[in-house]
Amino acid sequence: MANALVNVPARARRGDVIEIKTLVSHPMETGYRRSQLGVSIPRDIIRLFVCTYNGTEVFRAELHPAIAANPFIVFSTVATESGTIAFHWTGDNGFTATESAAILVE
Amino acid sequence: MRRRASRREFLVAAGGAAAGIGLGSVIAVAPARATPEAMREAIRKVVGSARIGTGRVKLELPPLSENGNTVPLAVSVESPMTAADHVKAIHVFTEKNPQPEVVSFRLGPRAGRASVATRIRLADTQTVVAIGEMSDGSFWSASASVVVTLAACLEEA
C-alpha cells in the first residue's frame, strides 16, 4: 500500500481559501528509460488525482510521465462546511491510494 | 614516422569515405523527444481553434535547475473564481521532453484561488508553457525557460 501524506488545516473559517498539499509515494516510471541491458522499462505512473470535499469533486489533476517521482500537488479550495476531504490517486497496473482528512469549519 | 603518417592518411581517408556514406543515407528515425512542433500540436488539441492570449497566467520555475528529475513548478491565474468567471483548467506543456504533455489541473469556482504547484521532470534545457482555460472559453498562457544541468529520463535504471 502506498504511503500518502496530506496537509489540510484542521480548522478554518467559513469561506476561507485553504491550501492543501499532497504527497504520495510512487516511482512514476516514465516508460522512456532503459535498463543496463538495454531493455525498455514499461511505464508505471499515476494517471489521475481527485480531491472530493464531502463527496463533491473540487479538484482533479491528470498526470503524465513528466511529473517527478512521488507526486507532490498543491492546490486550494474554499472551506464551505465541516466534514471530510478525501484524496484518491489511480494509476497504471491497478495502482490506487486513498487518504482523507477531517476539517472543522466554524 | 613514415608508418604513423600513412596510418593517419588511412584514417582520414576512411573517415571521409564513412562521412560520404552517412551523407548519402540520412537516417530517418523518429526523434526520441518531443519537438516544439509536437508541443504546438498538443496545445492545439486542448485549445482547439481558440486564440491564446498572453498574460493573466503566472508560471514560476527556477531559471536554472541542477536536477531535471525534480523541478518545482507553480502556476497561478488571475481570476475572481466565481461561478460566472473562473478558471476551468490549467495545462502545462514542455518543448523537449519525450512527451509534450506534463499535467492538466481541473479546477472550478470551489477552488477559491487558481493557484497550483507540483514538481516536474525536464529532459533538457527548454521552454515550459502553462495555459489557463477560463470558464468563458478564453485561453491565456505564460512560458518560462529553464536551464537544466542534469537531465531527467536519460539515465539507466
Cβ-Cβ contacts under 8 Å, B107 against chain A: 59, 75
Residue B26 binned pLDDT confidence (cut-offs 50, 70, 90): very low
Q: Domain range for residue B88?
A: 36-150
Q: Do A69 and B69 touch (CB under 8 A)?
A: yes
Q: Do A68 and B153 touch (CB under 8 A)?
A: no
Q: Measured on CA atoms in the order B50, B56, B62, B63, is the torsion positive or negative?
A: positive
Mean predicted confidence (pLDDT) in A4-11: 94
Give the C-alpha separation, B46 to B39, whole Å: 11
Say which CATH number the domain at A73 has.
2.60.40.10
**The three grid cell numbers given for residue A106, joined into one nine-digit string:** 466554524
Tell me what pLDDT residue B150 has.
85
Q: Which of B70, B88, B96, B110 to mutate to test the interface with A (most CBs of A within 10 A)?
A: B110
B88 part of a folded domain = yes
Say which CATH number the domain at B141 has.
2.60.40.2470
What region, left, alpha or beta, does residue A41 occupy, with left being phi > 0 and alpha being psi -120 to 50 degrees? beta
B105 part of a folded domain = yes
Q: Residue A6: CB partners within 8 Å, gap ≥ 6? A: A20, A21, A22, A23, A85, A87, A99, A100, A101
Portion of chain B with pLDDT greater than 90, in percent: 58
B155 part of a folded domain = no
Q: Do A30 and B98 touch (CB under 8 A)?
A: yes
pLDDT at A63 over 70: yes
The values of phi and psi at residue A33, to 5°, are -95, 160
Tell me what pLDDT residue B13 has.
60
Element at B73 (helix H, strand E): strand B71-77
DSSP assignment of A29-59 equals B-S--B-TTSPBPPPB-EEEEEEEETTEEEE
Distance set, CA B32 to CA A32, A73, B104, B156 (Å): 9, 28, 23, 15
Chain A touched by B8 (CB under 8 Å): no
ipTM of the complex: 0.92
Q: Do A63 and B157 touch (CB under 8 A)?
A: no
Chain B touched by A32 (CB under 8 Å): yes
B73 part of a folded domain = yes
pLDDT at B153 over 70: no
pTM over 0.90: no
B21 part of a folded domain = no
Smallest Cα–Cα separation from A69: which of B72, B121, B15? B121
Q: Do B102 and A56 touch (CB under 8 A)?
A: no
Chain A touched by B94 (CB under 8 Å): yes
Q: Do A68 and B70 touch (CB under 8 A)?
A: yes
Total domains present in chain B? 1
Total domains present in chain A? 1
Tell me what pLDDT residue B32 has.
61
